A and B are shown apart, each in its own frame.
Chain A
Amino acid sequence: MSPPLRDRIASPLDTASDLTLVGRAADGDVRAFEVIVRRYGPLMRVYAARVLGSNDEMDDVVQEAFITVWQRLATLEDGAALKSWLMRIVSRKSIDRLRARRERADFDLHEPLAPEHQSPPRMAEAHFQTQALSRALANLPEDQRRCWTLRELAGSSYVGIADELNLPVSTVRGLLARARKTLLREMEEWR
């Protein structure tokens, strides 16, 4: 095991633009790659956990995504578009994982999803509401949750989601509408 990477010395790379970091990492600079991992990895982890409905496979999915990123960095034409490119890659890896999971157990599409995003209870209303939303998201049917996550967390277009999930755009619209209404209805109950 290599030593933990915490307590690193601050480097000018930490504040470098995505463009600069992508250029360096595509040339094989591991330090620049590490800055990219730290900058966007947390968002990608949150995203993967939401799509998968649990934290169980989040580490694997994000690791697979970053291995692909490292191999393909040189193909990214516009280094400034790094974030959306990363989100597309982690989307694809998450969806692949869901498909594999379904092939293993296609009899159980609605496996119970324990909300694993837990932290000590607090009284604040905002906290109550985010926890309630977290549970409501975990309870959405998988296809709705995938559409909602791609739309709201990854900022994908309807057409982009349809491509990603191999579904007609009309189906994506329908799934998103149902997801939104379910969340809105639940939210009414929080008040």
Chain B
Amino acid sequence: MTEPREPQAPFDAFDVDTPEREVAHLAGHTIEQLSDYLDRERTPADPSIDESPECQIALRSLQHLRNVQGTLLAQDVTRERERGDSWVTAILQNIDLEAHSGRDIPLAHPSPSARLVVTEGAVRGILRATGDGMENIIVGRCRLHGDVSSPSDPITIRIDAAVSAGEDIPAKAHALRVAVYAALRAHTDLTVAAVEITIRDVYLPTPAGESVDPTGIEQP
């Protein structure tokens, strides 16, 4: 046990250049160990830390630092959210829109010299738009399985979707399947053997605001 320190005196354990004093002042521990102890939420309890007044002072300071850095980060993120969004526009203008177009899918045309194709990406767009036209379901990832280059070969379509909480999931999936068949018939020559829909997610129907934890740091 060390002498009670002066309230205004610097805490020796925080001295950057004297690691031996750090250990001597923290009952054999280091600031790093105490920081890890906080990360573990002080479990399992370590009496050599919990019963050392110096460690408790250091832990309080570490916790305080975390609180302040959590507040700082939250402030910074809020300020960034409130900033104008020219930066969003700049990003969207610089991405390559062709990057995800996928395979070419031929479309029939009366003229033998014409070659018409629709891209796989465009077909996925049709599938998403079909879901977006319905209430309480969001189409996620879509996959076209099979040889899309020959229209007569049957292909399987796999769709991941999310449904609003409280919806009748089988009924929603059925309605989407019917709508997808109709949309593909209207816009493509694909022979669809099956439309497999997997509901991977249930979401809250009302906009719940930002559900994002901007800090990733626990607030006390």
Contact = CB atoms under 8 A, between A and B. Distances in A.
B110 interface: no
A188 B11 CA distance: 8
B31 A181 contact: yes
Interface residues of A, number: 67
Contacts of B204: 15
B91 interface: yes
Nearest to B82: A42
Contact of B96 (A1, A2, A70): A70
Contact of A130 (B32, B72, B85, B160): B72
Interface stretch (B170-178, B185-193, B211-219): B211-219
Interface range on chain B: under 10, 10 to 19, 20 to 34, or 35 or more? 35 or more
B124 A66 contact: no
B90 A59 contact: yes
Contacts of B114: none
B141 A39 contact: no
A4 B86 contact: yes
Given A15-B211, A39-B210, A62 B87 contact: yes
A152 B69 contact: yes
B216 A83 contact: yes
A180 interface: yes
* Main SS class of interface, A: helix
Nearest to B81: A42
Contacts of B94: 63, 67
Interface in A162-191: 173, 176-178, 180-185, 187-188
Interface stretch (A29-37, A94-102, A105-113): A29-37
Contact of A28 (B71, B76, B89, B124): B124
Interface string A23-55: 110111110011001111111011001000000
Contacts of B92: 5, 30, 33-34, 37
Contacts of B164: 12
B14 A184 contact: yes
B73 A45 contact: no
A126 interface: yes
Given A43-B214, A129-B68, A152-B69, A16 B203 contact: yes
A13 interface: yes
B142 interface: yes
Given A180-B35, A185-B16, A37 B100 contact: no
A16 B215 CA distance: 20
A157 to B, nearest CB: 10
Contacts of A74: 100
A130 B68 contact: yes
Interface of B: 10-11, 13-16, 22, 30-32, 35, 58, 61-62, 64-65, 68-69, 71-73, 75-77, 79-81, 83-97, 99-101, 121, 124-125, 128, 138-142, 160, 162, 164, 200-201, 203-204, 207-208, 210-212, 214, 216-217
Given A34-B92, A71-B99, 11 more contacts: A2-B93, A20-B200, A24-B128, A27-B125, A28-B121, A43-B77, A126-B68, A180-B31, A180-B65, A184-B62, A188-B11
14 contacts: A23-B141, A24-B141, A28-B97, A30-B95, A33-B95, A37-B91, A37-B92, A39-B212, A41-B87, A63-B87, A133-B68, A155-B216, A155-B217, A180-B65
